[in-house]
A and B are shown apart, each in its own frame.
Chain A
């Protein structure tokens, strides 16, 4: 199905992303494809645990709410949807949608499911693999492993679309691949056409965080203005078969898309610009430039590509103990001194209970909580909030942190109020390994109505 030009929109840039701008881009964007990126590094670990408790679950929790809003208007317009909301259970996601879609007014549609990103068995079989973070063998994480998923490329997304499906649901794929996949499918680009792969990957990288390209994460009043930030529209890309790309956003929406927003998003989560490694190519973005063609329309230039590597990156989620925390507020005269006394009281009470922590962090919110800067240099604020967070392998010790902070209401310095965020949570951490591509067996499975 070779075409001359396609338009791809972004409908979500993280799991809990706002739904209305996704609906808006479907209704007003005149899209051919809608991609929704909803998997952060660790979310898939949580969803793998959900699936262990209930085999029908394990997909992105917001799946049904999002798709009830997005699917009917998208399918009505013939827009193909690509999403990684399958998370740890892409087929489960497809089944759940089928159960509800008729009631949403979508009785007939076809759905392709990408499987094969889950590689926990491969991890167990290869404890010798070195971790990318520190070179230590994977072995030490295996007893605490919660999930392991390979970042698949755009080829499997294109394979899904090639079935003619209206909807392609994946688990872990590289974020830009959700956008490059439709291009591979529509234009039959090959994996040795590095210039086109580079442009497509760059496009995906720019669009995958939704509103961060269009004025989100940007406004600074009086300095960097963003028109109607509240009505921020999501980004779209016009892509031509020869590899040319122009990015824009939902017509009539709020926000801003120009050289400045594109520059910030280009370098977002990018390390060496000459080697942005994806499963589809190694993008060299060091020569990228942006050309403002019109208001909210920018052409991309200068992306170069090198061949994809022989490996897939795997992110391994593992349990890493517990974190407990709590916050308490103080205001008025001597507020900071009272907050500091509260901190000492909590630490001493935890110590007398015989509880110890491998790491403890103390913040004075309003003075040093975000940048860990020297609070003694900060001006004395009218109000301040103490925060204590601590790490431990013992769940009860983690819970004690919040409980002791909470008790400052009644047994701490005078005027302790507004306590919040008392809690303990299990920490799911992640580390990465590389594995040869040929170890990973992917398949496209058509989901059918039961």
Chain B
């Protein structure tokens, strides 16, 4: 069984140069336990690897039930020179939320 990250958390992506940072915030405490346990840097790196991205750093803000992922080399050379249709990577928050995590029926309430 798996849990769609989309069902338990929301996300926002920002850009600086060729680095994307994507915050992931759980809707409730149970969701926070799932993402803090399962949404590892390795899992995120694996999900973004096809972009040539990495390394990935993860920061925890438990009081906000939020993780902040800093993903280097994710923006095709950076906002100003990328050939991508979304050079800022604003839509990458939605890509993050397509990750599926191990688990079952946890964190689904909209707390």
- Chain A positions within 8 Å of B, measured between CB atoms, are 41-42, 133, 217-218, 220, 224, 259-260, 263-274, 286-290, 302, 320, 323, 325, 359-361, 363, 365, 369-374, 387, 389-391, 427-430, 432
A365 near B10 with CB under 8 A, answer: no
Query: How many residue-residue contacts, CB under 8 A, span A and B?
Result: 114
List of B residues within 8 angstroms of A266 by Cβ: 23, 64
Q: List 19 A-B contacts (CB under 8 A).
A: A217-B90, A260-B10, A260-B25, A264-B25, A267-B14, A269-B15, A269-B16, A269-B21, A271-B19, A271-B68, A272-B70, A320-B81, A325-B83, A363-B85, A370-B94, A371-B92, A371-B95, A372-B51, A391-B81
B61 near A271 with CB under 8 A, answer: no
Q: Nearest chain A CB to B50's CB is how many angstroms away?
A: 6
Most chain B Cβ neighbours within 10 Å, of A220, A361, A371, A428: A371
Most chain A Cβ neighbours within 10 Å, of B25, B83, B94: B83
Question: Assuming A260-B25, A273-B59, is B85 touching A370 (CB within 8 A)?
Answer: yes
- Contact partner of A269 (CB less than 8 A), chosen from B14, B18, B25, B51, is B14
B10 near A264 with CB under 8 A, answer: yes
B50 near A373 with CB under 8 A, answer: yes
Interface string of B49-88 (1 = CB under 8 A from A): 0110000010101011010101000001011110111100
- Contact partner of B25 (CB less than 8 A), chosen from A263, A363, A373, A389, is A263
Q: Nearest chain B CB to A110's CB is how many angstroms away?
A: 36
Q: Nearest chain B CB to A324's CB is how many angstroms away?
A: 10
A323 near B83 with CB under 8 A, answer: yes
Question: Assuming A260-B25, A372-B50, is B83 touching A224 (CB within 8 A)?
Answer: no
Q: Nearest chain A CB to B11's CB is how many angstroms away?
A: 8
List of B residues within 8 angstroms of A220 by Cβ: 10
The distance in angstroms between the C-alpha atoms of A260 and B31, with both chains bound, is: 14
List of B residues within 8 angstroms of A371 by Cβ: 91-92, 94-95
List of A residues within 8 angstroms of B11 by Cβ: 264
Q: Which residue of B lies closest to A266 (CB)?
A: B64
The distance in angstroms between the C-alpha atoms of A260 and B26, with both chains bound, is: 10
Question: Assuming A263-B25, A264-B23, A286-B61, is B50 touching A271 (CB within 8 A)?
Answer: no
B66 near A267 with CB under 8 A, answer: yes
Q: Nearest chain A CB to B74's CB is how many angstroms away?
A: 10
Q: Nearest chain A CB to B103's CB is how many angstroms away?
A: 19
The distance in angstroms between the C-alpha atoms of A374 and B17, with both chains bound, is: 25
List of B residues within 8 angstroms of A325 by Cβ: 83
Question: Assuming A269-B15, A286-B61, A372-B51, is B80 touching A389 (CB within 8 A)?
Answer: no
- Contact partner of A267 (CB less than 8 A), chosen from B12, B79, B86, is B12
Q: Nearest chain B CB to A398's CB is how many angstroms away?
A: 11
List of A residues within 8 angstroms of B76 by Cβ: 361
Q: Nearest chain A CB to B82's CB is how many angstroms away?
A: 9
| Known A133-B18, A365-B85; further 20 A-B contacts with Cβ < 8 A | A41-B80, A42-B80, A217-B12, A267-B66, A269-B15, A270-B21, A271-B16, A288-B61, A288-B63, A302-B63, A363-B85, A370-B91, A371-B92, A372-B51, A372-B84, A373-B50, A373-B95, A389-B85, A430-B17, A432-B17
- Chain B positions within 8 Å of A, measured between CB atoms, are 10-12, 14-19, 21, 23, 25, 50-51, 57, 59, 61, 63-64, 66, 68, 70, 76, 78-81, 83-86, 90-92, 94-95
A271 near B64 with CB under 8 A, answer: no
List of A residues within 8 angstroms of B78 by Cβ: 429-430
Q: Which residue of A lies closest to B59 (CB)?
A: A273
The distance in angstroms between the C-alpha atoms of A430 and B82, with both chains bound, is: 12
- Contact partner of B21 (CB less than 8 A), chosen from A41, A217, A267, is A267
The distance in angstroms between the C-alpha atoms of A302 and B61, with both chains bound, is: 12
B80 near A286 with CB under 8 A, answer: no
Q: Which residue of A lies closest to B84 (CB)?
A: A361
- Contact partner of B64 (CB less than 8 A), chosen from A217, A224, A288, A320, is A288
Q: Nearest chain A CB to B58's CB is how many angstroms away?
A: 11
The distance in angstroms between the C-alpha atoms of A340 and B98, with both chains bound, is: 26
List of B residues within 8 angstroms of A259 by Cβ: 64
B50 near A374 with CB under 8 A, answer: yes
List of A residues within 8 angstroms of B79 by Cβ: 41-42
The distance in angstroms between the C-alpha atoms of A265 and B12, with both chains bound, is: 8
- Contact partner of B85 (CB less than 8 A), chosen from A272, A373, A374, A387, is A387
- Contact partner of A287 (CB less than 8 A), chosen from B63, B86, B90, B92, is B63
User: Top 6 closest A-B pairs, CB basis?
Assistant: A269-B14, A267-B23, A361-B83, A389-B83, A264-B12, A371-B95
List of A residues within 8 angstroms of B61 by Cβ: 267, 273, 286, 288
List of B residues within 8 angstroms of A373 by Cβ: 50, 95
A430 near B80 with CB under 8 A, answer: yes
List of B residues within 8 angstroms of A432 by Cβ: 17
The distance in angstroms between the C-alpha atoms of A147 and B66, with both chains bound, is: 37
